[in-house]
């Protein structure tokens, strides 16, 4: 039995890492799909592929919200929101399944089915996970071998840890996302077509902590209480697998995605085995813009989930910058753009690149508000100006100038906020 705060914090940080890693994997697959008439799909196939892409984007947004709920639980018990994660690919012993960036195909969807599978479901699509082998850093024998089991352990720990609520939940409610204290209408972030609305709420006792865990579990693996028109991630991936398999039976040459390499990278890091070094010069430029923008979005999200003395207006600026303009007008178009660009120098018709989700440095919380906002604003200015410059070069991809202007627009709100101090 888990008996200490440190053990619970450890499990919650593992949950945060897994949610973050899943977001990246689902987005990478969504970015890889074929979108244009000349890419060889029939109208019926294209409609199905478009629908699969929307499902992946919807689930990705949901996972981001789950990361927010985990962040609130961490804050409530006195810890920090956790946004660090290992590099791709990762097949180490601390995770129950391979963590890789791969294009959309039947094997990828099958892996996603197994990732989201409930503990008590048996299916020939998924091998039974091996016995858990890793230990808690603090020496407890508690282990997990699936996402579902991890959240079951977290739920059990919240209930069983022999610490009174008044001593366990020592983090300030005002530092969390959601609730009347922040005056934020956050309930529909990530919703697509009215589906998967998630309300981020403050956690301040066992009841609200369990409520958050149950919400994550229901929307991930599913429970009997999930509404038929709001299926779980597991159910959606299982549906996609069946649909894709049917298309392949009718047309064995059917391929929903571009010829995108796995685990693309431009930087050296420890886990280079299984990754693909991108060598085309222009593609490397765009991958750098993606990585820097992704890091910047994380900086804004960390500040959003771990704010200190921001006003409600400043929190709103962070919210709408990170979740709306940046995700939809920067991260997504850059990620899709990269899957149309050559991976290797002097191979214009060869394999395509993709978004590497590379982190150049560890993202720790910047404790001083003015300094944090200054650094974020400077990063936006640098990215937008360099992107605008590269967009004028020969062979630059179409639309890069528009993305640069989108970043500049977001930065104007930041600049005005800084000048108002």
Position of tokens 């085309």?
Answer: 280
> Tokens 């300094």, residue?
371
Which domain-ending residue is among 196, 226, 258? 258
* Rounded Cα gap, residues 316 and 324, in angstroms: 11
Please tell me the predicted confidence (pLDDT) of residue 197: 47
In contact, 188 and 197? CB cutoff 8 Å: yes
* 228 and 337 co-located in one domain: no
Specify the pLDDT at position 140. Answer: 47
Report whether pLDDT(285) > 90: yes
User: Which CATH number characterizes residue 180's domain?
Assistant: 1.20.1260.10
* Separation between Cα atoms, residue 64 and residue 304, nearest integer Å: 13
The answer to whether residues 342 and 250 belong to one domain is no
Q: Which of the pair, 128 or 9, is modelled with greater confidence?
A: 9
Residue 183 has pLDDT above 60, yes or no: no
Instruction: Count other C-beta atoms under 10 Å from residue 160's C-beta.
Output: 11
What's the token pair of residue 22?
């899943």
Task: Using a pLDDT cut of 70, give the percent of the chain over it.
Answer: 85
**Domain containing 410: what range?**
259-421
Flag whether pLDDT at 123 surpasses 60: yes
| Residue 289's CATH number | 1.20.1260
Model confidence at 274, pLDDT cuts 50, 70, 90, reads confident
For the chain, the domain total comes to 2
- β-pair partners for 333: none
Q: Is the pLDDT of residue 244 over 60?
A: yes
Cα 182–chain centre separation: 24
DSSP H or E stretch at residue 277: strand 276-277
Give the angle subtended at the CA of 81 by the CAs of 420 and 216, to the nearest 5°: 120
Residue 363: predicted pLDDT:
60
pLDDT band at 421 (very low <50, low <70, confident <90, very high): low
Do 279 and 200 fall into the same domain? no
DSSP state of 265: E
Higher-pLDDT residue of 142 and 376 is 376
What mean pLDDT do residues 390-399 have?
Answer: 95
Most confident of 143-157, 161-175, 186-200, 363-377: 161-175
What percentage of the chain has pLDDT greater than the value 90? 56
Which range has the worst mean pLDDT, 137-146, 188-197, 231-240, 258-267?
188-197
Q: What pLDDT does 271 receive?
A: 55
Considering the domain architecture, whether residues 149 and 290 belong to the same structural domain is answered as no
The answer, yes or no, to whether residue 222 has pLDDT greater than 80, is: no
Mean pLDDT across 349-355: 97
**End residue of a domain, out of 236, 258, 280:** 258
Residue-level pLDDT at 239: 96
- What helix, strand, coil percent values describe the chain, rounded to 5? 55, 5, 45
Phi, psi dihedral angles at 195 (to 5 degrees): -100, 150
pLDDT at 218: 86
Question: How many angstroms separate the most distant Cα atoms in the chain?
Answer: 65
pLDDT of residue 419: 62
Mean pLDDT of 152-168: 93
Same domain for 298 and 161: no
């Amino acid at each position: 039995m888990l008996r200490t705060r440190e053990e619970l914090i450890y499990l919650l940080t593992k949950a945060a890492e897994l949610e973050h890693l899943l977001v990246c994997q689902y987005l990478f697959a969504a970015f890889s799909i074929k979108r244009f008439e000349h890419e060889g799909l029939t109208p019926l196939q294209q409609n199905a592929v478009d629908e699969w892409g929307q499902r992946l984007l919807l689930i990705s947004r949901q996972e981001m919200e789950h990361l927010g709920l985990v962040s609130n639980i961490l804050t409530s018990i006195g810890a920090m929101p956790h946004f660090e994660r290992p590099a791709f690919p990762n097949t180490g012993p601390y995770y129950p399944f391979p963590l890789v960036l791969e294009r959309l195909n039947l094997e990828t969807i099958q892996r996603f089915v197994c990732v989201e599978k409930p503990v008590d479901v048996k299916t020939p699509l998924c091998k039974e996970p091996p016995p858990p082998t890793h230990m808690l850093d603090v020496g407890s024998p508690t282990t997990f071998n699936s996402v579902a089991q991890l959240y079951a352990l977290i739920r059990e720990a919240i209930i069983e840890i022999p610490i009174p609520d008044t001593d366990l939940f020592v983090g300030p409610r005002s530092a969390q996302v959601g609730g009347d204290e922040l005056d934020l209408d956050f309930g529909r972030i990530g919703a697509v077509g009215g589906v998967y609305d998630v309300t981020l709420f403050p956690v301040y006792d066992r009841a609200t902590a369990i409520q958050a865990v149950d919400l994550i579990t229901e929307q991930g693996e599913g429970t009997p209480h999930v509404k038929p028109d709001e299926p779980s991630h597991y159910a959606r991936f299982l549906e996609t697998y069946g649909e894709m398999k049917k298309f392949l039976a009718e047309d064995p040459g059917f391929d929903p995605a571009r010829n995108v390499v796995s685990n693309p990278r431009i930087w050296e890091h420890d886990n280079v085995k299984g990754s693909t070094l991108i060598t085309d010069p222009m593609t490397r430029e765009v991958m750098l813009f993606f990585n820097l923008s992704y890091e910047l979005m994380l900086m804004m999200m960390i500040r959003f989930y771990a704010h200190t003395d921001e006003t409600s207006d400043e929190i709103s600026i962070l919210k709408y910058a990170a979740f709306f303009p940046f995700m939809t007008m920067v991260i997504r178009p850059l990620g899709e753009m990269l899957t149309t660009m050559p991976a290797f120098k002097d191979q214009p018709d060869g394999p395509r690149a993709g978004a590497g989700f590379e982190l150049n440095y560890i993202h720790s919380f910047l404790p001083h508000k003015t300094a944090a906002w200054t650094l974020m604003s400077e990063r936006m200015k640098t990215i937008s100006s360099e992107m605008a410059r590269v967009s004028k070069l020969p062979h630059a991809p179409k639309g890069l100038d528009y993305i640069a202007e989108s970043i500049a627009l977001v930065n104007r709100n930041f600049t005005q906020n800084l000048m108002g101090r």
